[in-house]
Amino acid sequence: MLARRLSALCIRSVSGKQLVYAEYGDPTKVVKLQTIDLNDTPPSGQVHVKWIASPINPADLNTLQGVYPIKPPLPAVGGSEGFGRVEKLGDGVKTLKVGDHVLPSRSGLGIWRTDGYHKETDLFQIDKTLPLEASASLQVNPPTAYRMLKDFVDLKEGDTIIQNGANSSVGKAAIQICRIRGIRSINIVRKRDNMAAFISSLKALGANEVITEDQLVKEYRGKIKDVRLALNCVGGRSALLLATTLGHGGCMVTYGGMSKQPLQVPTGPLIFKDIRLVGFWMSRWYEDQKNLEERKRMNADLTSWIKSGEFRPPTFEKRNLEHYKEALEAAATSFVKKQLFIL
């Protein structure tokens, strides 16, 4: 008995921190910083991951607000994207080894924490020589752009796509993947100060055209047609304008609704030009186990493009967990400076 008690006392524990929430609501109010102690040894089939960096994505905020379709059982750890390093293996773990870099294999794992024990099937191994920002953002935005450009229309070199919200993380990833694949991209953006510099920055990524909605309606009226794919994250009238540029058999993929307005779609092209409208949700794609091999291929493509310098990952404002309130506040008010927790 005494031996057992001593042994129990002698088990070292891992001490860490995490951002948890026990109710849905205003992210800056419901999220709390918590100290945690984990047993030194992960349970069988699980690994100890030291999480390294995790961004704050809009979907994370919506999850905290309780308005996202993913609702983890509460209390839960916030965050769903990020990468970490495998520290220790539980019994029976076969696919990972200490030192490996990993992403979550699915959404909703809770990544805003320094340490976690996770099933090996909940993790996806990545190249450990990738830069920090690239690793931390390899799960959500570039894959969303990659899949939308691959899964709905068989795009060939020289084909044209159009997108709104072109300055979003997905938008900038789409611009670059189009450039790499030889696809022309027409990018619809909002009017802003320093328009010339802003246009230059997107053209530097590979954008063929960067225009405002207003220009699309006036100067470019009727000139943009036979577009094969439209990527829509705005909705409302903006979606209508994209749809009118689609050629026969074209497709509009919706992955966001920033305007909070229902999409508008012209009836004629839908019927007579055989266009179709679909939605895309990266989280659902990851849930489907039959996509695992294709995810490895996608990851290999993105990794090689990042390493060759062809694909630039997003830039971030880095924060540590202690400054989570400022980080959440900044993430909620600005799409421009993306927030990244360094864990």
Q: Is omega for the bond preceding 42 within 30 degrees of 0, making it cis?
A: no
Q: Which residue, among 34, 202, 179, has the nearest Cα to 115 in the 3D structure? A: 34
Q: Would residue 220 show up in a list of annotated catalytic residues for this protein?
A: no
Q: Does 269 bind a second copy (CB under 8 A)?
A: yes
Following DSSP, what letter does each residue of 280-332 receive, concatenated?
--HHHHHH-GGGHHHHHHHHHHHHHHHHTTSSPPPPEEEEEGGGHHHHHHHHH
Shortest Å, Cβ 211 to a second copy: 21
- Kindly report the backbone phi and psi dihedral angles of residue 176, in degrees, each rounded to the nearest multiple of 5, phi listed first: -70, -40
Distance CA 193, CA 199 (A): 11
Of the listed pieces 22-30, 181-189, 219-227, 254-262, which binds a second copy according to CB under 8 A?
A: 254-262
Binding mask 55-94 for a second copy (x = CB under 8 A): --------------x-------------------------
Q: Does 279 bind a second copy (CB under 8 A)?
A: yes
Beta bridge partners of 104: 123
Of the listed pieces 3-11, 263-271, 290-298, 316-324, which binds a second copy according to CB under 8 A?
A: 263-271
How many angstroms from the chain centroid is the CA of residue 91? Answer: 32
Contacting residue, 255, 305, 316, 324, with a second copy by CB under 8 A: 255
Of the listed pieces 162-170, 192-200, 202-210, 273-281, which binds a second copy according to CB under 8 A?
A: 273-281
Distance CA 110, CA 133 (A): 18
Q: Does 277 bind a second copy (CB under 8 A)?
A: yes
Q: Does 264 bind a second copy (CB under 8 A)?
A: yes
Contacting residue, 45, 72, 266, 314, with a second copy by CB under 8 A: 266
For the record, the structure tokens of 173 come out as 């990833």
Q: Does 287 bind a second copy (CB under 8 A)?
A: no
Query: Most distant CA pair in the chain: distance in Å?
Result: 85
Contacting residue, 270, 330, 332, 342, with a second copy by CB under 8 A: 270
Chain residues binding a second copy by CB under 8 A are 69, 235, 240, 254-257, 262-281, 284
Residues tagged active-site = 68
